[in-house]
Each structure stands twice: as C-alpha cells, then as structure tokens.
Amino acid sequence: MVAGFLGFAAVFAFYKAREAAHDEDFSVTSVAAALCVFALGALAVAGEVQAAAGGGAALAALLASREVLHELLKRLTWEEVRSALTLAVMTAIILPVLPNRAIDPWGGLNPHEVWFFTVLTATISYLGYIAVRLLGATRGLIVSAVSGALVSSTSVTLALGRDASLGGSPYPLAGAATLAATVSIGRVCVVIGLIKPQLFLMIGPAAFTAMLVFSLCGALPLIRSHRAGGIASTIRSPFEIGPLLLFALLFAVAATGNAALAHYSGAQGIVVAAAVSGAVDVDVAVLGALRLVGSAATVEIVGQAVLAAIMSNALFRVVLAIAWSPIRFWVPLLLVTLLSIAASGFVFFIFAPL
C-alpha cells in the first residue's frame, strides 16, 4: 500500500509538473486531490468504507467550494491568520500541560479551567470577528455597533458616545449602543449554553426579555432617523497577547474571590462578587460564577449572580456614557437600560420557581 502510494504520487506529480510548466498554471489542487483520492481508496480497501465515503463527500464539497474559499482567504490579513495559529498553540500546547486541580485553599483557582475559559471566550469573539471580516461589513452604524459588541460592548458605547460629543446625531448613536448591549447579552447566553445548559434554562427568559427590550428600543431611533452614514468599525482581533493575559488574570482573581466569598460568607456572596467584577468585564464575572455550579453554589444562586453581572455591566456602560458623552446620548441609554433591567427582573422572578 505504501509503495503503491509513493509510486502513484511520484508519477502523477511528475506529469502534473510538466503540464503546469507548459500551461504556466502553477496549482497544487489537482495533485492534492489525487493523493487524497488514493488515500480514501486505500482506506476503503482496509475496511473503513463509511469513513472513506464520508471523506470522499467532504473532499468533493471542499473542491466544489474552492473558488469561494480562495476569495474568503484573500480577505484575511496576516494578523488574523496569526491569531488562528495562536489559538492552536494555546489549545494544543499550553492547555494540556496546565494542572487540572485547584491550587488555592478555597478550591477556586484551577489553572486548567482558567486557561480553558480564556480560550473559549476568545474563540467566540474571534469567530464573530472573522464572520464580520469575511462578510465585508466594516462600515455603517448598525454593523459597527453589532460587530464591535462581539468583542467589547463597553468600547462600542464609548466610541459611540465620543462620536455623539463630536457632533454626531445622538439618538441614532444611542440606539446603536443599545443594540450593542443586545449582542453583549447574547454572547453571554452562548457561553452559558455551551458550559452550563441547565443554567441557561433558568435565566433564558430573563435574558431574552432584556435582549428584546434593548433591540426594540435600539431599532426605533435608527429606523426613524434613516441615518445614511455611520462610524467605522475599529474592532481588532481578540487574540492579542496582552488583553488575553489580562483576561486570564481577571478571571483567576474573580474565580478565587468567588470561591473565598462562598467559603466565608455563604453562597449569597457570589452574587455580590459577580456584580462587582461584572461591572468591569461581564465575561469574567459570568465564567467565574459558572464554575461554582454544583460545588459551592446552587443553580439558582449562580443564575442570580449571572443576572447581577449583566445588570452591573449595563449600568457601568451608562456611567461611562454619562462621563464621556452629551446628555442627549446617555439619557435614552439610561432609560432603556433601566427598562430592560426592570422587565428582565420581573420575568426572572416569575419563572425562577419553575
């Protein structure tokens, strides 16, 4: 089998090289496809017929989509490719060697979990970032706010507030900021659904209520204004080493603090810790609370902590807007935020017993 593969590869590559030189068309696609076909045939002969059939279908689909893939790859920058390589190193090299046990007296600081959640959060943001880049949606008010919120809704709020202070229309900008808040909550829901689906069933109604209020109130001023322009998207790849290490540090501190509070002050201390840390980084607060489910806190307590983190983060964005933007920008944002908190809190206390 090995001799046949090497002989086939040598003969096929030789004639393909002569053909490419004659046609001045230097492509390795046909060679790679031929080698894959031989390997899949060998796999079928070895008895793995289903695997060979699946591989053949995947190979055919890949070849049929190569033009689209080429166009998409041309739009990726070296920084984005490097970010993907950084993800591979973080996942395949660093993660396996970290100790998967708590190293603090309260059982909160687990290096393996800290790094795993860091990689998971960055991966979600990176996939959203790449999706926006491949679609080419880097301009326009709505797309800028929504795509930026995939990385940081707080940064988007500051950018929109600064634009309003420089003469931009405050009401459409405030509407875009509320849409960014919707994306922020949605990102948290994705993380919860991946890690603790049972918790998502508990806070889902309240989270969707908050998203509904934010999205509706954010769309209204944008629709009414018929704003034609927008701000340029300034989001950057989430795989910069500095912010990643800072996230890991904040998450480690939050996880240790939550465990210590749960040990000394009971489970209710987790809600306070999540509210405090959530003002700075909602992902850190949510992940720090999620890891305590079933160990130091019940699903109900962690659900309250997650909602407290989301609420404090929303209020912190309003505080920043008050400090850095005109009143016509932050007043609508404040009213919508308070309405969203009230509506989601009402829904949570109705469905929490269920």
Looking at the structure of the chain, the number of domains it has is 2
Nearest alpha-carbon partner for 207 in 353, 354, 350, 341: 341
pLDDT at 29: 83
Q: Which of 102-116, 178-192, 269-283 has the lowest mean pLDDT?
A: 269-283
d(CA 217, CA 224): 11
One domain for residues 29 and 86:
no
Contact 177, 221 (CB under 8 A): no
48 and 114 co-located in one domain: no
Q: 143 with 254, same domain?
A: yes
Are 327 and 207 in the same domain?
Answer: yes
Is there a single domain that holds both residue 85 and residue 231? yes
Model-wide pTM > 0.75: no
Residues 22 and 144 in one domain: no
> Looking at the structure, do residues 259 and 164 belong to the same domain, yes or no?
yes
How far is the C-alpha of 21 from the C-alpha of 174, rounded, in Å? 59
In the listed set 70, 100, 122, which residue is the last one of a domain according to the structure? 70
Residue 342 has a pLDDT of 92
What value, to the nearest 5°, has the Cα angle with vertex 190 and ends 188 and 194?
120
The two three-digit tokens of residue 274, written as one number: 């999540």
Residues 322-353 have pLDDT tens digits of 887 889 889 999 999 999 999 998 888 887 65
- Final residue before a domain boundary, out of 47, 70, 93: 70
Structure tokens at 305: 């902590």
Q: Predicted confidence band at 11 (pLDDT cuts at 50, 70, 90)?
A: very high
Residues 41, 104: one domain? no
Mean pLDDT rounded to a whole number for the chain: 79
Closest CA to 158 of 337, 339, 316, 335: 316
Same domain, yes or no, for 300 and 187? yes
**Residues in a beta bridge with 297:** 293
- Check pLDDT > 90 for residue 20: no
Residue type at 114 in one-letter notation: V
Does residue 153 sit in the same domain as residue 265? yes
- Structure confidence by residue, pLDDT tens digits, 201-258: 888 889 999 999 999 998 888 777 654 444 444 455 556 677 678 767 877 887 777 6
Cα distance between residue 99 and residue 105, in whole Å: 15
Q: For residues 111 and 246, which has the higher predicted lDDT (pLDDT)?
A: 111
* 319 pLDDT tier (thresholds 50, 70, 90): confident
Last residue of a domain, one of 38, 70, 102: 70
Residues 21 and 135 grouped into a single domain: no
Q: Residue 44 to residues 4, 49, 54, 194, 331: CA-CA distances in angstroms?
A: 15, 4, 11, 36, 67
Structural domain for 338, as ranges: 77-351
pLDDT above 70 (res 140):
no
Over residues 109-133, the mean pLDDT reads 72
66 and 96 both lie in a single domain:
no
Query: If you average pLDDT over residues 55-84, what whole number do you get?
Result: 82
